[in-house]
Amino acid sequence: MPNKVAVYRREHFNAAHRLFRADWNDEQNFSVFGKCANPSFHGHNYELEVKVVGVPDSTTGFVIDLKVLSDIIQEEVIERFDHRNLNLDTPYFKEVNPTAENICIVIYELLRGRIDADLDIQVRLYETPRNFVEYPVL
Amino acid sequence: MPNKVAVYRREHFNAAHRLFRADWNDEQNFSVFGKCANPSFHGHNYELEVKVVGVPDSTTGFVIDLKVLSDIIQEEVIERFDHRNLNLDTPYFKEVNPTAENICIVIYELLRGRIDADLDIQVRLYETPRNFVEYPVL
Amino acid sequence: MPNKVAVYRREHFNAAHRLFRADWNDEQNFSVFGKCANPSFHGHNYELEVKVVGVPDSTTGFVIDLKVLSDIIQEEVIERFDHRNLNLDTPYFKEVNPTAENICIVIYELLRGRIDADLDIQVRLYETPRNFVEYPVL
Amino acid sequence: MPNKVAVYRREHFNAAHRLFRADWNDEQNFSVFGKCANPSFHGHNYELEVKVVGVPDSTTGFVIDLKVLSDIIQEEVIERFDHRNLNLDTPYFKEVNPTAENICIVIYELLRGRIDADLDIQVRLYETPRNFVEYPVL
Amino acid sequence: MPNKVAVYRREHFNAAHRLFRADWNDEQNFSVFGKCANPSFHGHNYELEVKVVGVPDSTTGFVIDLKVLSDIIQEEVIERFDHRNLNLDTPYFKEVNPTAENICIVIYELLRGRIDADLDIQVRLYETPRNFVEYPVL
Amino acid sequence: MPNKVAVYRREHFNAAHRLFRADWNDEQNFSVFGKCANPSFHGHNYELEVKVVGVPDSTTGFVIDLKVLSDIIQEEVIERFDHRNLNLDTPYFKEVNPTAENICIVIYELLRGRIDADLDIQVRLYETPRNFVEYPVL
């Protein structure tokens, strides 16, 4: 049985966001989300790592051409999120908070449909070099 | 004559900003500032490097205690800028654009008054790992 | 069924240590532990990465508030280990060597009791950028 | 039952390579492999991360002495690949392309025979900081 | 008098090269250039940092638009060197060795003509994270 | 007139140290040096960057062969300081504190005598990624 290999591609985007619940008042929001609740927004350089797992193609030696993977990430994620306000400029965080966890799940869903179903994928998102998340948990 | 040594301290803050001129229309702003002109803002993980040059104290061996330098940066820069919108939440970028160049000059001015006049200082500001600025030019 | 997400927080501490067995003589210790057996100690900038796995809270979007996780790491690990001699200043390495493996297990045990039992945790410890360990193996 | 710990060692080598199939013409090769098909070769600073999983020895506290692991990587990988042309100077990529996937599998095979069978190993290979692979998938 | 600010842009390219003198025999070349003399070539991920010094424009706040600087580096350097063999595929290293020093000088000359004469420039080139060069010395 | 180029080599060592004055009591030492005064020592992964400035040799294209520079740093610095206690195991910090400033000056003096007098040198020492020093100030 041919063996599986994991390949990774790293991309980045810069965005603004704010953590808050519209059904809470300012005091509640600041008490739970701290300075991340600032109504004028703040922002991050997000680093995105996409893992794709599968058997390398015997003709090319690629699990997936990383140039193709990079293009898919560009179209599905970077064009939607880069230099945007995640709360105001995208439709994904109207009902849920743009926490790193939720952004990571949204990115996974955006990519999942574009990559062959026989390849597993996982997304890691760095909000800062010291805070990051991963979805799904394999 | 005792010799000078340079010491550096690195700190970081996360902020939102937007590049634009209020006296230009959207078309002009997007043509000059590109996606950085997004009216909903975007953001960065700013990394700040402060260089202090002087003769080490013969008693302690310090040019400046880096814990003291860190506290000064905290009070003068991080508390003002971290998790803030540079355009809306600070008074420094009403008349000038919050480009990395201008943010760096503002940070230098904020720090200069707090550090002994016989010590030279220089500020380097990373907007991203690939875009950064330095002021003054020594 | 709601999906699990992994979140990570990175912290650091600086410490001295020495690898040796009290029941061996110097020759035996140097032959097994090399220069790590130096009786005067040496030291490292340890980087610590704590992974917490669980279902994001539907109200906040957090698996665990990373500020809370950071505070727990601070109290349980950094205050005990930072700027300390692991052999002399802590009770954990009297019977076992402070190898990266053993330090990592000790840190896991210190944190495990402070984090909700329905959340899985894993600890990665960098002794240098080129030598690091992870526990438990999930 | 004693617990398993994973230990990692990072090494690097610099090499030249070219992606192409000898049974394709230039047009086919450039259409599939892009500029990586350049017949004059190009190159990379490869970063190699070897993970070894096992129960720490109760006498030393080591899963494997990382100095020993480093020496094995040196002998099996660095001496064969560093400052070499992977296509011309090694026997491993005559039939298969030196993609990161295939280089990673070759490195795994070279190391597997040198490390105790009761220890699991995994290899991660960075071709660039943004493109990397891992084998096997645990 | 308005003040000068330095701005930096970082780019990268991957290339193969070989250090040798055509008027020396193999023995001489290996004795001076070591494994860098390998006739089959080896390669690197080069990281390039371009510094531009000048007074920020009072209208935009830019010393130079870093997007413009990035495009110039792309056209003058990346398109010429990326995924190329520096000895075989470029005209610059027929008479001189492609040492980091000489590559850096060539890059400076390529960029100097494209950037306003009233702006000073300096080029830093990383051959590996541990070996790098800078030209000119300001 | 031929032009000068700067070349850099990065090395590292791990060491223990303690900041204190023997003529002060514990209270004085802790009040000035904080937790760095811990009598049991603490430690760091020091990163060392040595800059050498000169005109590249017209035969080789080297300012200085970085392999030679690396060997000199190894002999003069790494062998003396790696896996050592700077206060106890070296003669350099009996009268002065092993602050980063003073370690950097000592390293400069150790290297200066081994490198051609027509080459300028400068030393940068990272005590942590956020605290570093440079000597001399050029």
- The catalytically annotated residue of B12, B42, B83, B109 is B83
Which of the four pLDDT bands, split at 50, 70 and 90, describes residue E2?
Answer: low
Average pLDDT, stretch C43-52? 98
Contacts of C56 in chain A (CB under 8 A): 99, 101-102
Q: Give the residue with greater pLDDT, B2 vs A84.
A: A84
Contacts of A6 in chain D (CB under 8 A): 133-135, 137
- The sign of the CA dihedral E55, E61, E63, E64 is negative
Test D134 with A6 for CB contact under 8 angstroms: yes
Contacts of F125 in chain B (CB under 8 A): none
Q: What is the pLDDT of residues B11-28, one digit of tens each?
A: 999 999 999 999 999 999
Residue F48 makes CB contacts below 8 A (sequence gap 6+) with F10, F11, F12, F13, F73, F77, F107, F123, F124, F125, F126
Interface probe for A, chosen from C60, C68, C137 (most Cβ of A below 10 Å), is C60
Cα separations (Å) of E107 from B41, C103, E49, E113, F5? Answer: 36, 47, 11, 11, 13
Average pLDDT, stretch C14-37? 97
Test F60 with E97 for CB contact under 8 angstroms: yes
C36 is catalytic: yes
Active site residues of A: 36, 83, 127
Test C83 with F15 for CB contact under 8 angstroms: no
- The catalytically annotated residue of F11, F36, F101, F134 is F36
CB contacts < 8 Å between A and B, how many? Answer: 75
Percent of chain E whose pLDDT exceeds 90: 98
Contacts of F89 in chain C (CB under 8 A): 38, 40
Question: The domain F5-16+43-135 belongs to what CATH superfamily?
Answer: 6-pyruvoyl tetrahydropterin synthase/QueD (3.30.479.10)
What is the nearest CA distance from D9 to chain C, expressed in angstroms?
A: 5
Does residue B79 sit in helix, strand or coil? Answer: helix
Test E136 with F4 for CB contact under 8 angstroms: yes
Which of the four pLDDT bands, split at 50, 70 and 90, describes residue D130?
Answer: very high
Q: What is the pLDDT of residues D19-50, one digit of tens each?
A: 999 999 999 999 999 999 999 999 999 999 99
B79 is catalytic: no
Q: What pLDDT is recorded for position B138? A: 86
Q: What is the pLDDT of residues E67-113, one digit of tens each?
A: 999 999 999 999 999 999 999 999 999 999 999 999 999 999 999 99
Q: What is the pLDDT of residues F18-37, one digit of tens each?
A: 999 999 999 999 999 999 99
Average pLDDT, stretch B37-54? 98
Contacts of F3 in chain E (CB under 8 A): 105, 135-136
Test C104 with D11 for CB contact under 8 angstroms: no
Test D8 with C131 for CB contact under 8 angstroms: yes
Residues A136 and A122 sit within 8 Å (Cβ to Cβ): yes
Q: What pLDDT is recorded for position A24? A: 96
Q: What pLDDT is recorded for position F138? A: 86
Which of the four pLDDT bands, split at 50, 70 and 90, describes residue C53?
Answer: very high
Domain ranges for chain D, please list them: 5-16+43-135
Contacts of C79 in chain F (CB under 8 A): none
Test B16 with A41 for CB contact under 8 angstroms: yes
Q: What pLDDT is recorded for position E62? A: 98
Q: List the single residue in B with minimal CA-CA distance to F99.
A: B61
Test C7 with A100 for CB contact under 8 angstroms: yes
Chains touching D (3+ CB pairs < 8 Å): A, C, E
Q: Of D81, D127, D135, D78, which is closest to residue D104 (Cα–Cα)?
A: D135
Contacts of A36 in chain B (CB under 8 A): 83
C127 is catalytic: yes
Helix (H) or strand (E) holding F105: helix F100-112
Residue F127 makes CB contacts below 8 A (sequence gap 6+) with F44, F46, F100, F133
Q: What pLDDT is recorded for position A2? A: 66
Q: Of C99, C101, C104, which is closest to residue C18 (Cα–Cα)?
A: C99
Q: What is the pLDDT of residues D67-89, one digit of tens each?
A: 999 999 999 999 999 999 999 99
Q: Residue for token digits 């230099």? A: A83
Test F41 with C128 for CB contact under 8 angstroms: no
Interface of C with A in 51-110 (CB under 8 A): 53, 56, 59-63, 66-67
Residues F121 and F108 sit within 8 Å (Cβ to Cβ): yes
Q: Is B30 on the interface with A (CB under 8 A)?
A: no
B with E: 3 or more CB pairs under 8 Å? Answer: yes
Nearest to C89 among F14, F40, F85 (CB): F40
Which of the four pLDDT bands, split at 50, 70 and 90, describes residue A138?
Answer: confident
Q: What pLDDT is recorded for position F2? A: 66
- The sign of the CA dihedral A21, A22, A24, A25 is positive
What is the nearest CA distance from D136 to chain E, expressed in angstroms?
A: 25
Helix (H) or strand (E) holding C4: none
Q: Is D138 on the interface with A (CB under 8 A)?
A: no
**Residues F18, E65: Cα–Cα separation, whole Å:** 47
Q: What is the pLDDT of residues F43-82, one digit of tens each?
A: 999 999 999 999 999 999 999 999 999 999 999 999 999 9
Average pLDDT, stretch B48-76? 97
pLDDT at E1 over 70: no
Q: What pLDDT is recorded for position C138? A: 86
pLDDT at B49 over 80: yes
Nearest to A16 among B42, B45, B89 (CB): B42
Q: List the single residue in C with minimal CA-CA distance to A28.
A: C60
Residues E64 and B99 sit within 8 Å (Cβ to Cβ): no
What ranges in chain D are assigned the alpha helix state H? 26-33, 66-73, 79-81, 86-89, 100-112
Length of chain F: 138
Percent of chain A whose pLDDT exceeds 70: 99
Q: What distance lies between CA F43 and its chain's CA centroid?
A: 15
Residues B6 and F134 sit within 8 Å (Cβ to Cβ): yes
Q: What is the pLDDT of residues F97-119, one digit of tens each?
A: 999 999 999 999 999 999 999 99
Q: Is A119 on the interface with D (CB under 8 A)?
A: no
Angle, CA of D137, D43 and F126, to the nearest 5°: 80
pLDDT at E19 over 60: yes
What is the ipTM metric for this complex? 0.96
Q: What pLDDT is recorded for position E23? A: 95
Torsion of Cα atoms, F88 then F92 then F96 then F102, to 10°:
-120
**Residues D82, D15: Cα–Cα separation, whole Å:** 6
Which tokens in the block code for residue E59? Answer: 């209208």
pLDDT at B72 over 90: yes
Nearest to C85 among F15, F41, F82 (CB): F41
pLDDT at B2 over 70: no
Which of the four pLDDT bands, split at 50, 70 and 90, describes residue C2?
Answer: low
Single-letter amino acid, residue B48: L
Percent of chain D whose pLDDT exceeds 90: 98
- F41 sits in the region (left: phi over 0; alpha: psi -120 to 50; else beta) called left
- The catalytically annotated residue of C42, C79, C83, C109 is C83
* Strand segments (E) across chain E: 5-17, 42-54, 84-85, 120-128, 131-135
Contacts of F97 in chain B (CB under 8 A): 60-61
What is the nearest CA distance from E70 to chain F, expressed in angstroms?
A: 23
Q: Is D130 on the interface with E (CB under 8 A)?
A: no
